[in-house]
Structure 1
Amino acid sequence: MITLLSRVYFLSIKSNTYYEELSKRNYISRVKKIPVRGIIEDRNGNKLAVNQMGFSILIKPHLKSKKNKEKLNDAIDLIVEHFPKQEKKKLLRAYNRKDSAYNHDFVKVVDYLPYQEFFPKYTLFSSKDTIKVESAVKRFYPYRKAASHVIGYVGKASRLDILKNELSAHNGIIGKNGLEKFYNDKLQGEIGYKDVKVNALNKEIETLDEKEPSIDNSIKISLDIELQKYIQKIFGKRSGAIIVMDANNGEILSATSMPEFDNNIFASGISVKEWNIMRNDLNHPFTNKLINGLYPPGSIIKMGVALSFLENGLDENFTVQCSGSIRIGNRNFRCWKSSGHGKVTFRKAIRESCDDFFYKGSLEVGINKISQTLDKFGFGKQTGVDQVNEFFGVNPNKLWKQKKFKQPWYVGETVITSIGQGNMLVTPMQMARYTAFLATGKLPKPHFYKANYEEPEDLKIPEKELSMLRQGMHDVTHHAKGTATRHIKSKITIAGKTGTAQVVSIPQSEKVRMKESELKYFHRSHAWLTTYGPYKNPKYVVTALVEHGGHGGEAAGGIVSKIYDKLYEMEYIKSRD
């Protein structure tokens, strides 16, 4: 009796909630409401990524049998007749792949047709009981190639994407790169629903609960697309990268990775032929060089190395006598100026980019201490910019080499690292951030969207030391012997540093170095020019890298000068000094 009473209690009371929930499922139907993907705007409200309205075509399931095959063929023939670009074989393949005995939903065979193209045929297709028409959207990038690497693109959601992101199973797309991927959760919004009471015939009787999908899913970024287009134009057909960043807060006004590509080819679907052409391009248009391009920094690293010298015991009056080379073991390490620079101070070493000064200083300080200082400035680390798969770069030292190559560190590696060669590798984004620090004394976090902003980090570097290096950077662009003076022709007083990063080493047997123009294109050095301005009141950093461009001042000086003049014209900079 006790067992029987216990069972009755369980069935009538304890199990009531469980069976009540099952009962609800039998008469309550949930219809999901899919949000429209948010748009991306530049700082002035120009739309960089939007949604174009259109239609998709679906065909009734279970038409593959002999009895219904004619209906299937008629439906597909109707599509091909009115939209000749659709191929019958592909439509049949899409239907057969998605249709099964367990599927009771209409099968989508055409993902998207533009509104203007389909709407005149809407009535015809809607009248067919084997065809279903649904509204659809396609991502569109109005500015095409401009800022393509930064904006990114969306694509069809894969099975793995769907496992990680439930909403992508309903809208079929997901951010694949750039801001589209980094802020995918924000842009796709939150799904809504409508709970309705239905009868035994699945006919809606009453709405019980309803939640609208989110609409606050657009983002406005710091990019100025008109400035971006201008820089793209003056950069021409060169390969490389240019970044324009607010020196004080890390906002990015423009970020160009060249060559660029039209993101719309991914939204619409890229052909195998198009893909292979772009993939095999030696200038790597798919690589976001801003964060994924790894380059030796060359001489633009010298201010950071100089700060390491000062931090680790070298006096501000430290000088060397540059004779054009220094011999270590069986090798001569040459200064770029074969006749030498004579007596060299910190300021002169920056102004004239004397290699010998850094060779000798690095032997005093050592690679581990240099690496430790450069680590503070963000080398060998991600900057945290709101882009996906950012590279770390390489800030080498003895432990790094032992772990990576199981080899000891040699003195010769210390001296070549001190001038930004050897194993050291950086990204243009890291160099722009480091330049902002040199300008302001604080290290900002680069960002495109305000949600990724962080307060710049005060590195507590003595102002006296920074001031001395800033004077050297001013000399680079204004002193008669400055390495960029002949090439900087701007209305704005700027400070900067040139860099020539070798791609191939120079044999010891070569007494007179070949000119860059005499080298094969892919053997020419990469050209760097990183700057800030105005000099007295820094507002913006402009960092330029021209792949295989040779000398930094010659290759990038004209481009950088025009960018500062454009910033002045657009009133981002209001004071010339």
Structure 2
Amino acid sequence: MRLTIVYGIIVLVWIILLTRIYYLSIKSNEYYEQIAEKNAIKTEDIAPVRGQILDKNGQPLAVNKLGFEISIKPHLRRNLKVLDDEINFIISVFPDLNATKLKREYIKNDSPYSQDFVNVVNFLDYDRVLPHFARLNLRENTSVNPVSIRHYPLGELASHVIGYVGRANLKDIEANPLSKLTNYTGRSGIERYYNEILQGVEGQRTTKVTALNKVVEEIGYIKPSSTDISLTIDLELQKYLYQAFDRPAGAVVVMDGIDGSILAAASLPEYDLNQFVTGISQSDWNEMMNNPDHPFTNKLINALYPPGSVVKMAMGMAFFESGKYAPTSRILCDPYLELGDRKFRNWKNYGSEMMTIVEALRDSCDTYFYRGAYNVGIDIMAPVLRRYGFGVKTGVDLPNEYIGIVPDAQWKKMRLNQPWYQGDTINTSIGQGSFLATPMQVARDTAIFAMGHDVTPHFIGSINGVPQEWHARDILSQKEKSALKYIREGMHAVANIPGGTGFRVLSPSKVTIAAKSGTAQVVGISQEDKVRIKEVDMEYYERSHAWMTGYAPYENPRYIVTVLVEHGASGGGAAGPILARIFDKLADMGYIDEKYLKKKNSK
């Protein structure tokens, strides 16, 4: 009996073993074949080359510079001598590199779970590496691979428009996984706004590899694709802005009023984009941040200024839209408006004259607008101002555009928890007080009066050669359309009629300009000051900002130019000459038809 039990156990064990052998050798064969096949197939994503940014004529604004990156075999932390030998060899070839930084970079990025080489040098110029390429490539523990880096051939030119790329961080990768592959992402300007288009589409390479990750065969390949974009900027005109703008700081916008395409734009001073690609030094960063003219701020859309008198065209339309005034109505222009114990002064010591909107714009009479605003009220004024582009985004294709402020009772209650006073309405009527706007908003507002329609300012012209369409919008009421000719006549008088605030500097221009000057106070005027201190006697950073915005040709409106000079003191004196030069350049470049040139008309 015992022997039978023993034999039974032996037979049972053999049955179990044979069953297991059968399962492993036959039943599981297909499963393990699939595992083996997967282990042998490697799929590798290929980073696309970032698309180029070109001007409207195909001139490069942002391109890719070819070079090499250097990587070291992973897991050498277990053998620091080999790691040090590799780093010392790299330093012997490129003495300006820092061995300590290379080692720190390696240790930080070396993962025990990755078989990929560890990148220690992100970029070296092609011409610099090429003579040493063979020596570097023959080393078993070092890998040298071609790589491209963003390059801005024009340095600081149009820096706030073009923007720059920077190394992608964890937050960038989380939002856009492709940036992990490309290593870079758009940080500002067009580079950021159109980042998803410019970064392209990744490719894939499928290979058969050994257990040691050695490639045996390439099975499949999908080529990465790139997308170039062309802007509406004309590089020749863009370069000219820096000749025309002879002041330390400010902004300029040159726009085609038909569709809102921007031919040139600058926020000044600017900065060299290339220093941000690989990482700006702390000293350079501190110098930029401590510069009182704020070169890092995009003043086109990210700086807010009191619009001053350039708001008076829209303000006039608010008066007419209220029904309380017509374009031919006359309102008293005199030295000041007295409200309670406060005097709201005119910008210069006028006599007393009854003016229409044409004359009020020509002379930029403040008390005309004080009295009109007092009677119309902020509840009617504010919505009209927003419809003309103030206090709302223009929609321009640059990131983080500011909306500015059109103050009213609701805004003041929510923001300051204070009641609205008539004095607030009066200050708003001349673009002062809490009223704030960007140069891009002023350009858009000017375009409405020039063209009779609203446009979206934009820089994009085409994507991979496919033109992008932009359409104008009709926003004017019938009453406003009827009043438009009076506003235009007033802007014409500013530049072409003696006594106009821009006559001296704009009337000699090659083309007939319609314009509006503006002087926006930076510091208030005390009620005790009977005569305002002259701007030239003020400290520079206390002087008023200077505006001049206009369009040409007057006979057939098309091009809008808006100029802001920070602390320029006088719109006519500081911003006016810049605007005149730019319109002359537009004429010289053939943008304005010869039949509208004054010389042509005088023959």
* Same fold? TM cut 0.5: yes
Q: 1:99-498 to 2 correspondence within 5 Å?
A: 99-198=110-209, 202=213, 204=215, 207-215=218-226, 217-313=227-323, 314-450=325-461, 453-461=469-477, 462-488=480-506, 489-498=508-517
Change beyond 3 A, Cα 1:537–1:74: same
Offset, 1:32:
1.4
Offset, 1:206:
5.1
2:52 to 18, 24, 39: 39
Aligned residues: 560
Q: 1:515-530 to 2 correspondence within 5 Å?
A: 515-530=534-549
In the aligned structure 2, how far is the partner of 1:24 from the partner of 1:348? Answer: 86
Change beyond 3 A, Cα 1:427–1:91: same
Identity of aligned residues (%): 46
2:66 to 43, 46, 53: 53
Matched position secondary structure for 2:300: helix
Show the counterpart of 2:565: 546
Q: Which amino acid aligns with 2:419?
A: P
1:251-296 CA distance string (max 9 Å, x none):
0000010000010010132110000000110000000000001000
In the aligned structure 2, how far is the partner of 1:512 from the partner of 1:334? Answer: 10
Q: Which runs of 5+ in 2 are unaligned?
A: 1-27, 463-467, 599-603
Q: Which amino acid aligns with 1:564?
A: F
1:502 to 495, 517, 521: 521
1:487-532 CA distance string (max 9 Å, x none):
1131010100000000000000001111110110010000000000
In the aligned structure 2, how far is the partner of 1:357 from the partner of 1:16? Answer: 94
TM-score by length of 2: 0.90
In the aligned structure 1, how far is the partner of 2:313 from the partner of 2:92? Answer: 68
Change beyond 3 A, Cα 1:471–1:16: farther
Offset, 1:209:
3.9
Contact 2:439-2:562 at 8 Å conserved across structures: yes
Change beyond 3 A, Cα 1:97–1:471: same
Q: Which amino acid aligns with 2:547?
A: W
Contact 1:54-1:114 at 8 Å conserved across structures: yes
Change beyond 3 A, Cα 1:487–1:121: same
1:534 to 541, 546, 553: 553
Change beyond 3 A, Cα 1:32–1:460: same
Change beyond 3 A, Cα 1:158–1:202: closer
Matched position secondary structure for 2:277: helix
Q: Which runs of 5+ in 1 are unaligned?
A: 1-14
Contact 2:56-2:461 at 8 Å conserved across structures: no
Matched position secondary structure for 1:220: strand
In the aligned structure 1, how far is the partner of 2:368 from the partner of 2:52? Answer: 52
Contact 1:445-1:453 at 8 Å conserved across structures: no
Change beyond 3 A, Cα 1:570–1:18: farther
* Bigger radius of gyration: 2
In the aligned structure 2, how far is the partner of 1:464 from the partner of 1:492? Answer: 26
Matched position secondary structure for 1:292: coil
Matched position secondary structure for 2:489: helix
Offset, 1:23:
6.7
Offset, 1:76:
1.1
Quick check: 1:561 aligned with 2:580?
Answer: yes
Matched position secondary structure for 1:443: coil
Matched position secondary structure for 1:310: helix
Change beyond 3 A, Cα 1:23–1:556: same
Offset, 1:473:
0.2
Change beyond 3 A, Cα 1:135–1:478: same
More displaced, 329-338 or 348-357?
329-338
Q: CA RMSD in A?
A: 1.9
In the aligned structure 2, how far is the partner of 1:482 from the partner of 1:212? Answer: 63
More displaced, 478-487 or 317-326?
317-326
TM-score by length of 1: 0.94
